[in-house]
Amino acid sequence: MTISKIYGRILCCAMAAIFCACQEGKIRTWSNCNQPGDSLALHIVFGDTLQLQLDSLMILGITTPVNYEEKSHTFYAYDEYNKRLLSWPLQQDSALLAPDTIYKLNIRQKISWFSVLSPDSLALYCYGPGQLYFYSHRNKGVVRKLDFSAAGAAAKPYASGGAPVYITDSLITGFGFLMGEIAGEKPAGRTICSAVHLPDGQASHHVPYSAVYTDHNWGGAHLRTVFATRQDHTGDFIISLPADHHVQFINSRWEIKDVYAGSRKHACITTMPYSKKNNRMMADNQVALDYYFSTPTYRNIIYDRYRERYYRILEWPPVNPRLGKKSWLIAFDSNFKYLGEAPLPEALALDNCFLTSEGLYILNTDNKDPNIAQYVQCKVEI
């Protein structure tokens, strides 16, 4: 046998092995299709862009924790790299708003979310240990620490702008998720809501994924992310899951009610074409990302307390993957009656947004000036 024939056989065997690996665990997909109906065109006005001046140390990006404080009409951003809290009063009569105060925080942990509780105090959340810290400027440090202490398949909060931590006098509640798809898991045990009861600080875990997650492979990452908001009057939590056309209402007794909150345009959210069991493809990050880009997915659910409405974000597969998924805003009234839907501009950071009486503000990632952060104002007019 010649050397060329030997190499030829080796190449054929290698190609066959690659083909088999790619086909390993492949199964027929399942699609969760919505109830299409008459789609109403929503009128969204994109108003004046909010421009914030940044100092030489500050980088305000997609995952930068931000907070809007209504009473003082002030925007805050946390500088993780330098452990600083910067504030911008939004009532300034200027096209470019400068920060008026910079607080240096005495904390070593990485903070993923925060809330301004008073001029002196903050709530800071660290995902690593799953802990919430109450910080005092006057005392220059943490004055109390609470532990969500999740174990097993219970997820600790993955706090962000799309899933804040909610604080009351008797309960602190957050929403999160665990990565992965587990064959044969008990759905009721994989909870996505954690609560710390006050004053004793005991943690409890509630709310499994909705029924569409029970028997299917949703990639274990992007489509497992949990988004949440809270209704001011009732105190109910509303959860938006990427693969579900419904949202879940959670009352104070942890009772769950499904409410349809999908697009009226035809949308089928399709599972991953691989088995959860013994599949090497599940460990490939690029495969997971390609799958996420291939199917529609829901994300943020936002309660607009100023107008008594809800906004839910739906992302459509991109025509050009380099441009990212196409974001779509769906509006509902306070009883989740459908009001309409419309596309959002490209290059908006949906994880970095905040709501005021003047509209919804979303970070513009197309901004190329490192000295300025730009937020696009979105006004839903009905």
Cβ–Cβ under 8 Å, residues 67 and 355: no
Q: Is pLDDT at 72 greater than 70 in this prediction?
A: yes
Q: Is pLDDT at 372 greater than 50 in this prediction?
A: yes
Share the mean pLDDT of the chain. 91
Rounded Cα gap, residues 168 and 195, in angstroms = 11
Give pLDDT tens digits for 160-171. 999 999 999 999
Rounded Cα gap, residues 130 and 80, in angstroms = 17
Please state the rounded mean pLDDT for residues 57-76.
96
- pLDDT greater at residue 92 or residue 226: 226
| Rg of the chain over all Cα atoms, to the nearest angstrom | 23
Please state the rounded mean pLDDT for residues 127-139.
97
DSSP-derived secondary structure for 15-69: HHHHHHHHHTTB----EEE-----PPBPEEEE-PPEEEE--TT----TT--EEEE
Please state the rounded mean pLDDT for residues 312-341.
93
**Quick check: helix, strand or coil at residue 287?**
helix
Q: Is pLDDT at 282 greater than 80 in this prediction?
A: no
pLDDT score for 305: 95
HEC string of 298-355 equals EEEEEEECCCCEEEEEEEECCCCHHHCCEEEEEEEECCCCEEEEEECCCCEEEEEEEE
Predicted structure pTM score: 0.91
Q: Is pLDDT at 29 greater than 80 in this prediction?
A: yes
Rounded Cα gap, residues 131 and 109, in angstroms = 10
* Percent of the chain at pLDDT exceeding 90: 78
Token digits of residue 155? 């997820």
pLDDT score for 279: 65
Please state the rounded mean pLDDT for residues 1-8.
42
Q: Is pLDDT at 245 greater than 60 in this prediction?
A: yes
- pLDDT greater at residue 114 or residue 181: 114
**Quick check: helix, strand or coil at residue 272?**
coil
Burial string for 298-315 (b: 16+ CB within 10 Å, else e) reads bbbbbbbeebebbbbbbb
Give pLDDT tens digits for 268-279. 999 999 988 756
* Percent of the chain at pLDDT exceeding 70: 93
Rounded Cα gap, residues 222 and 297, in angstroms = 9
Name residue 334's beta-bridge partners.
none
Question: What is the strand order of the sheet 227-230 is part of?
Answer: 227-230, 237-240, 246-250, 256-260
Confidence of residue 58 (pLDDT cuts 50, 70, 90): very high
Q: Is the dihedral of CA 118, 234, 305, 240 positive or negative?
A: positive
Give pLDDT tens digits for 192-235. 999 999 999 999 999 999 999 988 899 999 999 999 999 999 99
Q: Is pLDDT at 155 greater than 50 in this prediction?
A: yes
* List of domains in the chain: 28-39+65-303 (2.130.10)
pLDDT score for 93: 83
DSSP-derived secondary structure for 169-223: SSEEEEE----S--TT--GGGSEEEEEEETTTTEEEEEEEPPGGGSSS--TTTGG
Q: Is pLDDT at 185 greater than 50 in this prediction?
A: yes
Rounded Cα gap, residues 296 and 298, in angstroms = 7
How many residues in the chain?
A: 382
Choice among 4-13, 121-130, 147-156, 189-198 with the minimum mean pLDDT = 4-13
Please state the rounded mean pLDDT for residues 256-262.
97
Q: Per mean pLDDT, which of 5-14, 57-66, 147-156, 179-188 is the most reliable? A: 57-66
Rounded Cα gap, residues 145 and 135, in angstroms = 9
